[in-house]
Structure 1
């Protein structure tokens, strides 16, 4: 089945951010069930998903995961990704028991400082041809 024809979680990420692109590549390598699809905030699909949930795609506060009408953002988005990857990565989803008021400030600090700490690509990351069907 073509994943673009099926409902599945969509990870919207910053394709110019080196950390975010590395995370997207990690998901493509470890999502053996091919559950997740990816959309960059720089393209029309990703930008429209941000706008749908009231987030400015030009100045996003978070990477998001969209599953149907559900939105996961901040640390919940990261944990939703790990929960969907299967073992051993699924074990990290246990961090959801750490209260959000402790998890989210650390996530938001990293998100605000991602370019300064990890750098920024001159051009958006592009997936390999084998994974092109998973990137919207």
Structure 2
């Protein structure tokens, strides 16, 4: 895996998660982020990098640090204790379907981003 790249595994039926992917696609001009659905959707996003696998708030911060400024500055949030960060992450994860909705339909991918999606687990 590209040392600056990451594979982001997300809940494809979650409207918030799909919005997160669109946000990342629009800002990752270098094209180093890749995307795949989670094997078993849960309340976390999983990010795989050359440095390891990240979950919850660590995953979000790991992805944001790969974007241009000002988004990479969110890495400063690592100074906060992980239990605090994860508590906020968990609250959003628990309520995301109620707040943002759920959509099991297959999304239409923009042509310029289709090559950055993999059909399933590990690849």
Question: What is the TM-score with the length of structure 1 in the denominator?
Answer: 0.79
Unmatched tracts of structure 2, length 5 or more: 119-123
- Alignment partner, residue 19 of structure 1: 16
Unmatched tracts of structure 1, length 5 or more: 1-5, 42-46, 48-56
Name the structure where helix makes up a greater proportion of residues. 1
Distance 1:33 1:97 in 2: 27
The match for 1:127 among 92, 109, 114 is 109
Distance 1:124 1:95 in 2: 34
Root-mean-square deviation (Å): 1.4
SS at match of 1:62: coil
- Alignment partner, residue 118 of structure 1: 100
Change (3 A) 1:13 1:126: farther
Distance 1:130 1:117 in 2: 29
1:34-60: CA deviation from partner (whole Å, max 9, x where unpaired): 11100112xxxxx2xxxxxxxxx14x2
Distance 1:16 1:132 in 2: 17
SS at match of 1:12: strand
- What is the aligned residue count? 116
Question: What is the TM-score with the length of structure 2 in the denominator?
Answer: 0.87
Post-superposition shift, 1:103? Answer: 0.5
